[in-house]
């Protein structure tokens, strides 16, 4: 448990997260308007989204399925009956004056998320609930000196609000929770997890207490849009509360905003003062009843999720938990790796994917789906190493060229004459030559200066243009030098 | 539930309805009567009865995920008190 040191002793931070995940769907939760990001303002708004009088919401079946899949993915209980409520508040980008949400009877209750922490540690965090709700529109405050511009394209888009139990105990754990949740959502294809575009946003409830003491008063930090900012905001807020209490102050329950430019949280003024949403069942919508057979069909069609996949990679491929964790963080990466590893040395495949390939992809600022070298092409290169056509050292140069040109390994090896010399006669000749040219060094070595062995290896390698099979070279060199 | 002048002022503020001070006592009285009338329901024992969210014996109809609405910005903005560059505009909301 990570404690924070204060002037009066150690403090424990208690964090609960509310994540808003935009559901991947073509149309909105209750209307047939499109959901794409970046469209012309107000071009994806139906009369339902703009809350025109007399318009009735009709629920999108696919959004319901997406929520059910996510519920199963976080090991929650899918409720056969759930109810939509109105959450009432006034804001310029909420045309109806209420948000359709789920309050007393959400579509999913309970669940859990396993955190992957440094040094292979792990912790399981409870999920309280997942419910479906509408997103609001977008207000632009910086377009005009005394007007706010409102774009309703986002209004009515389906969101899943996923609420954790207040079981997180550090910014690090909060970061791990968000990363894992994002990975699960992306595996399921229920949310694209794109934080820059606002598809995944997070509110953090933070309080502090002395270990073992009852819960302190919490502050809610609203609308944090990156994992790093969430962690910075939590650290800042915990410290602020500790300093406040230790100086004799009292934490006031309030909503705060994270100012990422200055790295501080500050109280939010207008919107959330009321906190009196007067929820009541939406009379426009009947209870949402799910067919148990349909839930089972969705359960049966679930893809393998990251935790399971990681376990399988460790068990079947004998990967380290760390490498397996890196490979399963994105489904595409895991699939890519499995394609490379198929019928080959899996650990070598993992090393090449996480080492050479990731290195060059990062440098080029590319994702794995844009890799200029396919999984099969890397596989073919590994085959050339395995059958001694090229040494591992040479293979790295070949790989760099594959990445650059998109050519396949065998063609590069042939064109550049990189085929490894395994012919012991040729290597032996090179060894003899080097020994003959360096009598003093040979004498020193024989007098006990063992370190010189590496020097001789380098000389012979050089003499063979780097193509000598290292195993054969070592063996011959050892024999001749001691001889 | 007791409803007094302060409750009336509070819910009026939440609903963004201007209720003059002079009307609040009278409205509090009316609301008290309405609530008392509804509170008669408390006499019924509802232990073990599922909470009812709708009086209609139906479940909610569902629609397929198809784009068949929207793309009608001019219509949507036609009744707006103010609009500019395709946006609704409102007096600045300071955050």
Total-model pTM: 0.86
Question: Between chains, do A32 and B66 touch, taking CB under 8 Å as contact?
Answer: yes
pLDDT digits (tens, 9 = 90+) for B30-84: 999 999 999 999 999 999 988 877 888 888 899 999 999 999 999 999 999 999 9
Check residue A106 and report its DSSP letter. Answer: -
Question: Given this model, what pLDDT does residue A147 score?
Answer: 95
Query: What's the average model confidence in pLDDT over A180-206?
Result: 95
pLDDT digits (tens, 9 = 90+) for A6-23: 889 999 999 999 999 999
Query: A334 CA to chain B: closest CA distance, Å?
Result: 30
Chain A residues whose beta carbon lies within 8 Å of the beta carbon of residue B73: 40-43, 45
Confidence band (pLDDT; 50, 70, 90) for A269?
Answer: low
Question: Between chains, do B90 and A271 touch, taking CB under 8 Å as contact?
Answer: no
Question: Between chains, do B73 and A41 touch, taking CB under 8 Å as contact?
Answer: yes
pLDDT digits (tens, 9 = 90+) for A136-173: 999 999 999 999 999 999 999 999 999 999 999 999 99
Residue A194 has pLDDT above 60, yes or no: yes
Q: At what angle do helices A375-386 and A409-416 cross, to 10 degrees?
A: 50
**A29 → chain B, closest CA residue:** B65
Chain A residues whose beta carbon lies within 8 Å of the beta carbon of residue B82: 147
Query: What's the average model confidence in pLDDT over A245-258?
Result: 92
Query: Average pLDDT, whole number, for chain A?
Result: 92
ipTM score of the complex?
Answer: 0.91
Question: Given this model, what pLDDT does residue A415 score?
Answer: 81
Query: What's the average model confidence in pLDDT over A31-36?
Result: 97
As a whole number of angstroms, the distance between CA A415 and CA A394 comes to 14
Q: Which residues contact residue A100 at a Cβ distance below 8 angstroms, ignoring those fewer than 6 apart?
A: A29, A30, A57, A84, A85, A86, A87, A133, A134, A282, A285
Confidence band (pLDDT; 50, 70, 90) for A468?
Answer: confident
**CA angle (A271, A275, A277) in 5-degree steps:** 105
User: How many helical (H) and strand (E) elements, i.e. helices and strands, does chain B have?
Assistant: 3, 3
Which candidate from A32, A148, A287 shows the least CB-CB separation from B60? Answer: A287
As a whole number of angstroms, the distance between CA A397 and CA A18 comes to 48
Using a pLDDT cut of 90, give the percent of chain A over it. 71
Chain B residues whose beta carbon lies within 8 Å of the beta carbon of residue A27: 65-69
Confidence band (pLDDT; 50, 70, 90) for B1?
Answer: low
Which candidate from A46, A60, A146 shows the least CB-CB separation from B63? Answer: A60
Which candidate from B56, B60, B76 shows the least CB-CB separation from A50? Answer: B76
A273 phi and psi, to 5 degrees?
-60, -40
Question: Between chains, do A42 and B65 touch, taking CB under 8 Å as contact?
Answer: no
Residue A27 has pLDDT above 80, yes or no: yes
Q: What are the structural domain ranges in chain B?
A: 5-42
Q: Does B61 touch chain A (CB under 8 A)?
A: yes
Count of other CB atoms within 10 angstroms of residue A63: 26
Residue whose structure tokens are 């990156």: A226
Question: Given this model, what pLDDT does residue B95 score?
Answer: 54
**A42 → chain B, closest CA residue:** B73
**B63 → chain A, closest CA residue:** A60
Q: Does B18 touch chain A (CB under 8 A)?
A: no
Question: Given this model, what pLDDT does residue A472 score?
Answer: 81
Q: Does B69 touch chain A (CB under 8 A)?
A: yes
Domains and CATH numbers, chain A: 3-297 (no CATH), 304-416 (no CATH), 424-481 (1.10.10.410)
Question: Between chains, do B77 and A42 touch, taking CB under 8 Å as contact?
Answer: yes
Could you write out the DSSP letters of every residue in A320-362? Answer: -HHHHHHHHTSHHHHHHHHHHHTTS-HHHHHHIIIIIIHHHHH
Question: Given this model, what pLDDT does residue A379 score?
Answer: 94
Question: Which is nearest to A46 in space by CA: B89, B79, B84, B71?
Answer: B71
Query: What's the average model confidence in pLDDT over A244-252?
Result: 94
Residue B4 has pLDDT above 60, yes or no: yes
Query: A37 CA to chain B: closest CA distance, Å?
Result: 14
Query: A157 CA to chain B: closest CA distance, Å?
Result: 12
Question: Given this model, what pLDDT does residue A215 score?
Answer: 93
């Amino acid at each position: 448990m990570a404690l924070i040191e204060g002037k009066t002793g150690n403090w424990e931070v208690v964090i609960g997260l509310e994540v808003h995940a935009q559901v991947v769907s073509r149309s909105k939760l209750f209307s047939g308007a499109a959901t794409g990001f970046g469209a012309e303002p107000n071009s994806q708004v139906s009369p339902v989204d703009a809350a025109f009088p007399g318009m009735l919401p009709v629920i999108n079946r696919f959004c319901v399925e997406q929520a059910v899949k996510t519920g199963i993915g976080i090991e929650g209980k899918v409720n056969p009956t759930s109810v939509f409520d109105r959450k009432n508040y006034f804001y310029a980008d909420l045309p109806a004056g209420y948000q359709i949400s789920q309050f007393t009877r959400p579509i999913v209750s309970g669940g859990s998320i396993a955190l992957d922490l440094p040094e292979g540690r792990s912790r399981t965090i409870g999920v309280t609930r997942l419910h479906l709700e509408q997103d609001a529109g977008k207000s632009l405050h910086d377009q005009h000196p005394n007007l706010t511009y409102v774009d309703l394209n986002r209004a009515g888009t389906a969101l899943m609000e996923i609420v954790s139990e207040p079981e997180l105990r550090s910014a690090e754990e909060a970061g791990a929770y968000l990363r894992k949740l994002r990975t699960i959502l992306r595996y399921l294809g229920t949310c694209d997890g794109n934080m820059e575009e606002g598809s995944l946003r997070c509110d953090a409830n933070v309080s502090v207490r002395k270990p073992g003491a009852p819960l302190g008063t919490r502050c809610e930090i609203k609308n944090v849009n990156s994992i790093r900012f969430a962690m910075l905001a939590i650290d800042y807020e915990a410290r602020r509360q500790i300093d406040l209490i230790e100086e004799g102050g009292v934490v006031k329950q309030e909503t705060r905003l994270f100012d990422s430019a200055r790295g501080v949280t500050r109280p939010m003024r207008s919107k959330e003062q009321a906190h009196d949403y007067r929820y009541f069942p939406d009379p426009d919508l009947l209870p949402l009843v799910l067919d148990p057979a349909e839930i089972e069909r969705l359960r049966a069609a679930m893809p393998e999720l990251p935790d399971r996949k990681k376990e399988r990679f460790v068990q079947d491929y004998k990967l380290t938990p760390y490498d397996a964790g890196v490979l399963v963080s994105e489904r595409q990466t895991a699939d890519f790796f499995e394609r490379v590893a198929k019928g080959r040395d899996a650990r070598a495949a993992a090393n090449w994917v996480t080492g050479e390939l990731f290195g060059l992809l990062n440098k080029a600022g590319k994702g794995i789906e844009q890799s200029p070298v396919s999984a099969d092409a890397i596989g073919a290169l590994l085959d050339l190493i395995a059958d001694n056509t090229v040494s591992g050292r040479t293979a790295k140069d070949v790989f760099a060229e594959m990445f650059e040109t998109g050519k396949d390994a065998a063609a590069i090896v042939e064109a550049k004459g990189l085929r490894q010399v395994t012919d012991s006669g040729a290597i032996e000749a090179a060894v003899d030559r080097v020994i003959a040219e360096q009598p003093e060094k040979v004498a020193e070595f024989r007098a006990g200066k063992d370190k010189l062995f590496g020097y001789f290896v380098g000389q012979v390698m050089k003499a063979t243009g780097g193509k000598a099979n290292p195993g054969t070279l070592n063996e011959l060199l050892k024999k001749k030098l001691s001889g | 539930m007791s409803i007094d002048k302060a409750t009336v002022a509070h819910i009026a503020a939440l609903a963004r309805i201007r209720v003059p001070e002079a009307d609040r006592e009278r409205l509090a009285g009316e609301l008290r009567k309405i609530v008392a009338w509804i509170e008669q329901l408390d006499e019924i024992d509802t232990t073990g009865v599922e909470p009812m969210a709708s009086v209609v014996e139906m479940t909610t109809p569902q629609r397929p995920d198809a784009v068949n609405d929207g793309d009608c910005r001019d219509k949507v903005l036609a009744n707006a008190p103010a609009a500019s560059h395709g946006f609704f505009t409102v007096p600045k909301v300071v955050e």
